[in-house]
Amino acid sequence: MTLLDRNEVQPGYWPSPWPVECGGNRRQKAASGRLDAATGTATIVSRRTERWDVMTVRREPGEWFVGGTMPAFVGPAPFGWVERFDPETLEPIVRSPDLPCGDHVWCGAILAHANGSILSVNGSYLHRLDAEDLSVQAERELVDCSHNGLLALSDGSLITKDLRLEGQGGTTVTRLSADTLGTIGEPLELPEGSMGRIAADVIEGIDHIYVPGTEHLWRLVVHGDSLEIDDWQPRYRSADGRWGLSWDACLSDDAVWIMDCGDVESVRHIHTTFPNGRFETAPALSWRQPAPWTGAQRLLRIGLSDPEDVLAIEPFGVPGGGIIAPPVHVPEHDMAIAWDSVNGGLAGIATDGGGLDVAWHQDVRPSMQPVVFPESAELVINDFTDGGSDDLVVVDIRTGELLDRVSTGSRIANGMFLSAGDHRDVYYCSTTAMARVSWH
């Protein structure tokens, strides 16, 4: 087994092992090193924030940032924010001003850019922040709709998109300068809406951007200042309503890996109001509601060289499956990881035989973006228990064995991001709370 280089400097980003959500544009969520959780002792530090904590990213060693929004579904106007925090105590060091978000409530994104600044997209606004004091260096209003996902391309330009469900028109993809936040070329409107976040990779020196649509996956190619839709347009879903929409894609092993059944009732509720996520009276928002379709949760593998090469598997086979976060494929172990948040269940799917075969099941209920440590074959993901505790579990990627369990202290689980720290640790973000779990 040859381990991939997880310490490579990623073009467009500050030289850091975790400068952006999922650790990089391919969304493999993989970190170098190992936790060795089974032989270590877990220590947790948690902080009650009363905010919607979305993700953490690292710039310099010991220099960590968290970004998010306010869970203001009713009442006073929402806003975005970014904070630099102490990596051990989680206490705030400096915080940005309240950042306009166009009155939209949704989880945006932050990244540590090669130009030294912190970039934040939240609602319909993009901000460039000084990394030292988090003052606003530039501000740009985007399409009037909530945005999710913000990546840097190999030339340092930024790419982002708005979020539109089925029947809400085509999603707009915008490329911008990371210095001025000026638009590069014309924004591109896709033929379909898109819910999942974008992924990207460089193929023969050219940036390729992958966008999950409502029925197809779309690949955009960067040519100079323009974005062009490639003829690779695989269909992953029919419009018969049996399955839901895809969240983000993971690029791995010459394939795109996605899970469908993502636009659960709470997501639909938030994005069929305008501004997104704003209500006159407090809504009942829960991803635990029954799914609005009959299909079982699916994992799909789509070949990057052949759009007709589409494999699908139902790892659990239970009708009405649903998720609020995407899968991961670990090429070092020829294993994909999938789950069903609505019905419960985590599964490892072996991919080394050219097909998709369930290798193991684990009786947990994940909902969030995991982290994997390929060297030690460890997966870290959450388990929202029947008792209402959001725990972190460490699972052996090869066998599904449960190696450790740690309660985060949070009573709310969502689809937010775990990040790999520098010292056998993982950062956790959720609504109203964040935490750091370390092993020693």
Tell me which residue has tokens 């913000």: 150
**How far does CA 229 lie from the centroid of its chain?**
23
Cβ burial of 61 (10 Å; 0-12, 13-18, 19+) is: exposed
Note whether 213 and 194 are within 8 A (CB): yes
Between the alpha carbon of residue 40 and those of residues 184, 194, 434, the distances in Å are: 49, 42, 22
Rounded Cα distance between 12 and 17, Å, is 13
Rounded Cα distance between 288 and 270, Å, is 15
Note whether 340 and 287 are within 8 A (CB): no
Query: Among residues 329, 331, 332, 330, which one has the least CA distance to residue 1?
Result: 332
Note whether 356 and 336 are within 8 A (CB): yes
Query: Among residues 336, 332, 395, which one has the least CA distance to residue 363?
Result: 395
Rounded Cα distance between 436 and 430, Å, is 12
Rounded Cα distance between 244 and 31, Å, is 30
Spatial strand order in the sheet of 335-339 = 328-330, 335-339, 346-350, 357-362
Predicted confidence at residue 362, as pLDDT, reads: 98
Residue 128: CA atoms inside 13 Å, Cβ hemisphere, count?
19
Predicted confidence at residue 241, as pLDDT, reads: 86
* DSSP codes of every residue in 399-437: T--EEEEEEEEES---S-B-EE-SSSEEEEEEEEEEEEE
Predicted confidence at residue 354, as pLDDT, reads: 86
What pTM was estimated for this model as a whole? Answer: 0.96
Note whether 158 and 175 are within 8 A (CB): yes
User: What is the set of domains in the chain, with CATH numbers?
Assistant: 21-279+287-439 (2.130.10.10)
Tokens of 431: 């609504």
Predicted confidence pLDDT, tens digits, the chain (440 residues): 334 455 577 999 999 999 999 999 999 999 999 999 999 999 999 999 999 999 999 999 999 999 999 999 999 999 999 999 999 999 999 999 999 999 999 999 999 999 999 999 999 999 999 999 999 999 999 999 999 989 999 999 999 999 999 999 999 999 999 999 999 999 999 999 999 999 999 999 999 999 999 999 999 999 999 999 999 999 999 878 899 999 999 999 999 999 999 999 999 999 999 999 999 998 888 888 999 999 999 999 999 999 999 999 999 999 999 999 999 999 999 999 999 999 999 999 999 988 999 999 999 999 999 999 999 999 999 999 999 999 999 999 999 999 999 999 999 999 999 999 999 999 999 999 999 999 99
Rounded Cα distance between 102 and 225, Å, is 27
> What is the DSSP code (8-state) at residue 38?
G
Predicted confidence at residue 429, as pLDDT, reads: 97
The helix (H) or strand (E) run that includes residue 267 is: helix 265-271
With a CB cutoff of 8 Å and minimum separation 6, the contacts of 397 are 330, 333, 335, 337, 348, 372, 374, 377, 378, 379
Rounded Cα distance between 228 and 186, Å, is 11
> CA torsion sign, 154 to 158 to 164 to 165?
positive
Note whether 344 and 387 are within 8 A (CB): no
Four-point Cα dihedral 398, 439, 338, 308, nearest 10? -80
3-state secondary structure of 202: strand
> What is the DSSP code (8-state) at residue 1?
-
Predicted confidence at residue 5, as pLDDT, reads: 52
Note whether 197 and 248 are within 8 A (CB): yes
Rounded Cα distance between 241 and 259, Å, is 15
3-state secondary structure of 23: helix
Tokens of 83: 């904070």
Rounded Cα distance between 144 and 261, Å, is 26
* Residue 218: CB atoms within 10 Å: 22
